[in-house]
């Protein structure tokens, strides 16, 4: 593959080496598992173990907590390269790094960091539990209730569509301590797998990213120790908003990886496929579609890397994150759709990878803020 990195997306030597190591791993270790995991709708447990061994589950965590002590951009590179082969594995790494670990780094107290960050970096998968059946885009219409019982909190209710739920050992859960205060009553809680009154429920049977577990969470008098409040009581809405702002860049990176994988598979296919006595790549109509795909892919990379660099530099990035996710998810669907067209009948079969890229791409316009919510965010920030 020919790299295309103008100034904005120029990678350092360390970033290039990191990317190449993940790319080699994805090709040799992940790719052979993709079809089986998709068919079974289940993540390979050995693969998750390898992610920890490679240091991909605590990329930003400081070395003192067992992490790699690296940057947000590095985390996005990992999400992209894994997504280039499999969107399901990509989102597992994404949620771990850009949502769960990020929330701990920004909002956890020192005791919580010492206890949980090493576990998240070395052996525990994390899940981010915000959505409910009645609170998707209206994220703060939470019905999960928390009651203060003196020495503990007790949670009752349900969460829905929670990524990594089957694999997770730790759940960052948002519940309302005071419904009368609306969003100002929302508080973040650290809930461990096996906590009394807590269980993982139904796993969704999905169109795409099928190996990624997406499940219901059930809380029936779930007991949470007082010390497991993350951040301040009543400030959960702030944690949720600001963490999701960062997570959107990660989803942009996932969509970038899916687009790259679909593009490369298409490029290889049209060079080898013959019709009317010559390869598809020799037809001008096909060449034009390929050029459109490549150009769209380039714009996605520019926007995703730009948002990640801004975040690392401590600069405002919320609008850029929203634009990157919006554009990356739309572009992924478009690129994968054209790829299916260029594969023809083969693109509609499971013998080739394109139909899976196409299925996996759709979720980008839905989770971690729908496209309409990104448009709203962009417009509000433009209008001041």
Q: Which residues carry out catalysis? A: 368
In terms of Cα–Cα distance, which of 361, 252, 254 is closest to 307? 252
**122: its two tokens:** 């070395």
Element (H, E) at 359: helix 354-361
If one counts every other C-beta atom within 10 angstroms of the C-beta of residue 143, the result is 15
Q: Is the sign of the CA dihedral 62, 67, 70, 74 positive or negative?
A: negative
Burial-class residue 225 by CB neighbours within 10 Å (0-12, 13-18, 19+). Answer: middle
Helix ranges (DSSP H) in 64-155? 72-83, 87-94, 102-107, 110-122
Distance CA 262, CA 108 (A): 39
- CB-based contact 174:240 (threshold 8 Å): yes
Q: How far apart are CA 370 and CA 368, in angstroms?
A: 7
Could you give the CA distance from residue 251 to residue 364 in angstroms, rounded to a whole number? Answer: 7
Quote the longest CA-to-CA distance of the chain.
79
Contact indicator for 304, 311 with CB cutoff of 8 Å = no
Residue whose tokens read 């909190």? 153
Residues 79/90, Cβ–Cβ less than 8 Å = yes
Rounded distance, CA 204 to CA 211, Å? 11
Check if the beta carbon of residue 368 is closer than 8 Å to that of residue 253: no
Residue 109 has phi, psi (to 5 degrees) of: -80, 175
Rounded Cα gap, residues 384 and 377, in angstroms: 11
């Amino acid at each position: 593959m020919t790299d295309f990195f103008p100034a904005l997306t120029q990678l350092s030597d360390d970033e290039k080496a990191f990317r190449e190591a993940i790319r080699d791993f994805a090709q040799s270790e992940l790719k052979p598992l993709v079809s089986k995991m998709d068919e079974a709708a289940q993540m390979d447990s050995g693969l998750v173990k390898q992610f920890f061994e490679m240091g991909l589950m605590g990329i930003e965590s400081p070395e003192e907590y067992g992490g790699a002590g690296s940057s947000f951009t590095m985390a996005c590179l990992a999400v992209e390269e894994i997504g280039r082969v499999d969107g399901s594995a990509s989102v597992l790494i994404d949620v771990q790094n850009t949502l769960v670990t990020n929330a701990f780094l920004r909002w956890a107290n020192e005791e919580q960091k010492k206890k949980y960050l090493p576990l998240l970096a070395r052996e525990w998968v994390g899940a981010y539990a915000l959505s409910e059946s009645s609170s998707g885009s209206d994220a703060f219409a939470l019905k999960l209730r928390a009651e203060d019982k003196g020495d503990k909190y007790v949670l009752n209710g349900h969460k829905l569509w929670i990524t990594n739920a089957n694999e997770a050992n730790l759940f960052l859960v948002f519940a309302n301590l005071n419904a009368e205060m609306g969003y100002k009553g929302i508080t973040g809680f650290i809930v461990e797998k096996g906590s009394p009154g807590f269980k993982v429920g139904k796993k969704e049977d999905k169109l795409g990213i099928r190996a990624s577990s997406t499940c219901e969470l059930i809380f029936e008098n779930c007991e949470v120790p007082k010390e497991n409040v993350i951040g301040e009581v009543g400030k959960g809405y702030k944690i949720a908003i600001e963490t999701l702002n960062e997570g959107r860049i990660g989803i942009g990176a996932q969509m970038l990886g899916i687009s790259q994988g679909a593009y490369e598979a298409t490029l290889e296919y049209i060079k080898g496929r013959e019709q009317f006595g010559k390869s598809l790549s020799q037809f001008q109509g096909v060449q034009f579609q390929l050029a459109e795909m490549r150009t769209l892919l380039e714009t996605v990379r520019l926007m995703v890397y730009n948002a990640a660099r801004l975040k690392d530099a401590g600069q405002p990035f919320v609008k850029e994150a929203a634009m990157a996710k919006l554009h990356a998810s739309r572009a992924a669907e478009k690129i994968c759709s054209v790829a299916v067209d260029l594969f023809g009948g083969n693109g509609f079969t499971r013998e080739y990878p394109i139909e899976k890229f196409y299925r996996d791409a759709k979720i980008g316009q839905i989770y971690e803020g729908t496209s309409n919510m990104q448009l709203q965010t962009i417009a509000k920030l433009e209008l001041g």
